[in-house]
């Protein structure tokens, strides 16, 4: 009887564990998907005018909006606020008048999407405020990720899996004891989980040895691959303090890279343009037309980002006068080479006639600038092996032509191709101090 009771308890534990696991995988994941969808929808449709907190932007802050208004009213307001105002609705007209009769444009979202947006507003969840930071004397809300829910889910799943494994082991031992008893024998095999694992390994030494060898050499290979990735930051794209979009400037506006990075033609470094250079355009282009732009998958207000330039320069847009307290922008460098590597932009851009995209990729398509190429030694020497020297009409190489051996003169005359490798582009001292 006691054995039957124990088996019933074991089966109950298994059912409870499986139920908890399914709840975590389906219900919690479903909730996180809804809020995540809501976050994306909010950024795309609402963030230009609203904040999920209490802070006013163009329109009111949306903190507590779910409690203040019922769901049906919010749906009507979001889909077509002007139609709701026209019905004489008191709440709609109160908001309309409070914000100087600014029109909230109709939003092309369905009921499910509205539910997701409202779920995100109610539970911005994975984001929490750290407190105000100060940029140029202006408080700025700083947000960081809160992964406590994910950590809770991870450890919860691990604990439930352990309970499930232990319970299954106990159930297995019990079944073997019952079978042995029916046969008139006494079960003498392993009872604990550790004993079962030890017996399994002892009975399958060949398989265990093979697994150990595979794991050892797999780990060694992974270690070697990891070593080759040290210092390689391909795909690195930090979010800058001012959301500067290369896609807008170099792509849509077709501004030449050398206009902002003039150092590329005259020195080793291309340089980061000063904010005074930005003011050549942004003295007049201030974003007051209300345009927004995409940056790292999220929508931002152009006027707010341009205002950061004015704040750092201590520039008064009304009087068009610069103050006495400018502050530097702490830009984050994207492309970094080791200290022992020499690279000259002038050599490649002027003498080599290389386009910026050769190394930096299609910057005209990037809203957030990223490291497009690996910038490894192998990548550099492969390029030097394949790239032809731009000798035609290039005064930089006139002296080299005069000193060129007949062998290379013949090569240049015949096919016009002379690789960087053939003029010493593989010599160690060319790139290393």
**pLDDT tens-digit readout, 41-92:** 887 778 767 878 777 766 788 888 888 888 888 888 888 888 888 888 888 8
At residue 278, the pLDDT reads 95
Q: For residues 346 and 222, state if they share a domain.
A: no
First and final C-alpha spacing in the chain: 83
Judgement on whether residues 101 and 217 belong to the same structural domain of the protein: no
Stated as kind and residue range, the H or E segment containing 122 is: helix 111-122
- Residue 163 falls inside a structural domain: no
Look at the chain and report how many structural domains it folds into.
Answer: 4
Q: How far apart are CA 169 and CA 139, in angstroms?
A: 58
What pLDDT, on a 0 to 100 scale, did the predictor assign at position 104? Answer: 81
DSSP summary character for residue 352: S
The secondary structure of 375-433 as a DSSP string is: --HHHHHHHHHHPBP--TT-GGGHHHHHH--HHHHHHHHHH---BTGGGTTT-HHHHB-
Would 154 be classed as within a structural domain? no
* Contact predicate 266/344, CB 8 Å: no
Question: Which residue, of 149, 179, 207, is where some domain finishes?
Answer: 149
User: For position 16, what pLDDT does the model report?
Assistant: 53
Task: Please report whether residue 171 resides in a domain.
Answer: no
Q: Which CATH number does the domain housing residue 45 bear?
A: 1.10.760.10
Residue 181 lies in a domain: no
11 and 145 housed in the same domain: yes
In a domain? residue 160: no
Task: Tell me the per-residue pLDDT of 116-175, one tens digit each, with 9 for 90 and over.
Answer: 888 888 887 644 443 443 333 333 343 444 556 667 777 888 888 888 877 877 787 788
What is the percent of the chain with per-residue pLDDT over 90, rounded to a whole number? 32
What pLDDT is stored for residue 22 in this prediction? Answer: 56
Q: Which residue has the tokens 């000063």?
A: 274
Last residue of a domain, which of 210, 228, 246? Answer: 228
Assigned domain for 205 exists: yes
Domain of residue 145: give its range: 2-149
CA distance 402 to 383: 26
Q: What is the mean pLDDT of residues 334-348?
A: 92
Length of the chain: 433
Q: What is the pLDDT of residue 313?
A: 96
**Residue 131 confidence (pLDDT):** 40
Q: Which pLDDT score, from 0 to 100, does residue 173 have?
A: 79
In a domain, 174, yes or no: no
- Does residue 1 carry a pLDDT above 60? no
Q: What is the pLDDT of residues 278-322, one digit of tens each?
A: 999 999 999 888 889 999 888 899 999 999 999 999 999 999 999
172-177 long-range contacts (CB < 8 A, ≥24 apart) are 172/196, 174/3, 174/6, 174/7, 174/10, 177/3
User: Which pLDDT does position 391 carry in this prediction?
Assistant: 77
Shared-domain flag, residues 57 and 112: yes
- Give yes or no for a contact between 418 and 388, defined as CB atoms under 8 angstroms apart: yes
Both 252 and 336 in a single domain?
A: yes
pLDDT greater at residue 383 or residue 134: 383
Q: How confident is the model at residue 19 (pLDDT cuts 50, 70, 90)?
A: low
Q: Are residues 69 and 203 in the same domain?
A: no
Co-location of 15 and 134 in the same domain: yes
Q: What is the pLDDT of residues 270-287, one digit of tens each?
A: 989 999 999 999 999 998
Q: Is the pLDDT of residue 36 over 90?
A: no
Shared domain check, 405 and 384:
yes
* pTM tops 0.95: no
Whole-number average pLDDT of the chain: 81
Domain limit, last residue, from 357, 373, 389: 373
One domain, residues 241 and 133: no
DSSP 282-351: HTT--STT--EEEETTEEEEHHHHHHHHHHHHTEETTTTEE-S------PPP-----TTB---HHIIIII
Give phi and psi for 88, each to the nearest 5: 85, 15
Report the pLDDT averaged over residues 370-377. Answer: 93
pLDDT greater than 90 at residue 217: yes
Are residue 67 and residue 137 in the same domain, yes or no? yes
User: Does residue 26 form part of some domain?
Assistant: yes
- What pLDDT shows up at residue 146? 52
Which of 9-13, 42-46, 378-382 is predicted with the least confidence, judged by mean pLDDT?
A: 9-13
Whether residues 432 and 365 share a domain: the answer is no
238 plus 221 within the same structural domain: no
CA distance 19 to 41: 32
């Amino acid at each position: 009887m006691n054995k039957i009771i124990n088996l019933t308890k074991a089966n109950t534990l298994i059912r409870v564990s499986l139920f908890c696991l399914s709840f975590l995988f389906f219900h919690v994941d479903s909730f996180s998907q809804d809020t995540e969808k809501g976050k994306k929808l909010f950024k795309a449709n609402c963030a230009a005018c609203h904040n999920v907190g209490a802070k006013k932007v163009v329109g009111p802050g949306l903190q507590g909006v779910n409690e203040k208004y019922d769901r049906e009213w919010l749906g009507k307001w979001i889909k077509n606020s002007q139609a709701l105002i026209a019905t004489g609705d008191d709440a709609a007209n109160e908001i309309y008048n409070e914000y100087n009769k600014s029109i909230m444009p109709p939003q092309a979202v369905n009921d499910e999407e509205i539910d997701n947006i409202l779920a995100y507003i109610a539970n911005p969840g994975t984001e929490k405020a750290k407190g105000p930071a100060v940029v140029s004397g202006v408080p700025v809300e700083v947000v960081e990720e809160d992964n406590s829910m994910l950590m809770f889910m991870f450890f919860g799943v691990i604990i439930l899996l352990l309970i499930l494994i232990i319970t299954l082991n106990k159930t297995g031992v019990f079944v073997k004891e019952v079978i042995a008893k029916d046969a008139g024998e006494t079960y003498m095999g392993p009872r604990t989980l550790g004993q079962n694992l030890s017996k399994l390994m002892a009975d399958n030494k060949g398989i265990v040895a093979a697994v150990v060898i595979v794991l050892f050499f797999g780990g060694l290979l992974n270690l070697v691959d990891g070593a080759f990735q040290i210092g390689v930051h391909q795909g690195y794209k930090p979010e800058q303090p001012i959301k500067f979009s290369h896609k807008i400037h170099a792509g849509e506006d077709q501004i030449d890279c050398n206009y902002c990075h003039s150092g590329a033609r005259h020195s080793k470094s291309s340089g980061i343009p000063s904010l005074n250079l930005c003011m050549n355009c942004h003295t007049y282009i201030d974003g007051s037309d209300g345009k927004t732009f995409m940056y790292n998958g999220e929508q931002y207000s152009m006027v707010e980002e341009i205002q950061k330039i004015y704040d750092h320069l201590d520039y008064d847009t009304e009087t068009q006068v610069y103050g006495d307290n400018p502050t530097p922008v702490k830009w984050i460098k994207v492309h970094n080479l080791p200290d022992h590597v020499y690279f000259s932009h002038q050599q490649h851009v002027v003498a080599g006639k290389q386009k910026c995209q050769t190394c930096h990729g299609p910057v005209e398509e990037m809203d957030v600038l990223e490291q497009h190429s690996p910038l490894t030694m192998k990548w550099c020497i492969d390029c030097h092996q394949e790239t032809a020297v731009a000798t035609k009409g290039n005064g930089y190489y006139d002296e080299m032509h005069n000193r060129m051996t007949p062998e290379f003169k013949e090569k240049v005359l015949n096919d016009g191709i002379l690789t960087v490798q053939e003029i010493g582009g593989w010599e160690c001292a060319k790139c290393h101090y």
